[in-house]
Structure 1
Amino acid sequence: MTSPTPPAEPVYADRTFRSPAGMVGGVLLLLLICWIGGDAALRGEGRVPWLALAGLLTAVPMVVAFTLRPVVLANEHRIRIRNPFRTISMPWTEVSDLRAGYSCELFTEGGAKYQLWAVPVSLRQRKKAARQQSRRSLDDPYDRTSVHADVRDTKARMATADQTMADLRELAERAKTGGAAAGESAESSVSVRWAFEVIAPAVVGALLLVVLFATG
């Protein structure tokens, strides 16, 4: 008699962290660049269309790289950081620390440091959150409501970047203490891949601009 097959572990989708303001700004900037560059390419005379096309080839990938491309994807096993020009992937066992100072940074066990472009730090939001915390402590100087405090409510009073980093720290701690990261068999080390699909067209466009200006 064959033993019953154990149920497979549930697969959870990656949690996505990115900057909505950066995405909106990127879309608006792309529309403006395409409008101006497209108009120059269609209606320009002489060398203007070529300059406009070379400028578009340079500017569009750079805007996409710094506004739409950055994202942090995390699950119970791994974290993947997609920055403007690189994609870094690693299991939680390789993560030693996550810090949010003037920028959000991840430190590996090997001593490497990677910036999380998708999680920008807003000093204005931090000051606002600090004022709210100070006002709350004045309203309740003896912290009489701390027994009934909700962790989610505490996070809600943080700046957005600090909330995101707190969520990532929770995922890292849960993976390390629960052994979730150890259960993943594929790629147990840090993986870094350059975004040549962004770098190549930007470099080609820049070279074309240099040639056009030099031969003009």
Structure 2
Amino acid sequence: MSGEPGPQAIRKLAPGKLVIASHNKGKLREIAALLAPYGVEPVSAGELDIPEPEETGTTFIANAELKARFSADLSGLPALADDSGLCVEALGGDPGIFSARWAGPDKDFGEAMRLVEQKIEAVGEDVGRDAHFICALSLAWPDGHIESFEGRVDGVMVWPPRGEHGFGYDPVFQPYGHQVTFGEMDPAKKHAMSHRADAFAKLVAAVF
């Protein structure tokens, strides 16, 4: 109907410093690599002594937005946060938003991968091993404006873990159409097709 407001225009990100609201070195490496062509100077929350907030959201986007707002508020700079995780169909979507927490306080992803495999075996192989990674990216400005994007990549769970690349659950996730896990895949190839790359492509199209 005429007279109704249209959708709010997406805000563009100006070149300059951008806080990456993460203390995860693997995520920081991947996000910095994805940002490299865009004239942005990434600085991690850890470098600015910004702590990690408690993730109280019930979705990937809710947690990404919470982390992005927290870092933008404390730094006075735009902040980009990622919330991502592994969703295993046989486990009803677990570990999902709790993917990092399954690794425990010591961030032991070897233990987390064993736990996922034990739970899949307990359910029974006949349910299948399909899984997907989700990545939510939220970009927040100090005035409270926020833009969020979500990406996904589908594949299957493998055991035992394979490969030394990547981080987290990468060694037990084999994307559809490939014979190698994310842990075995050349990092540049993973960057081009991962859940994070999918979300990042949407963010780039919108804000750069």
Q: Do both proteins adopt the same fold according to a TM-score greater than 0.5, normalized to the shorter chain?
A: no
- TM-score under structure 1 normalisation? 0.24
Q: Which has the higher contact order (CA 8 A, sep 6+)?
A: 1
Higher helix proportion (structure 1 or 2): 1
Higher strand proportion (structure 1 or 2): 2
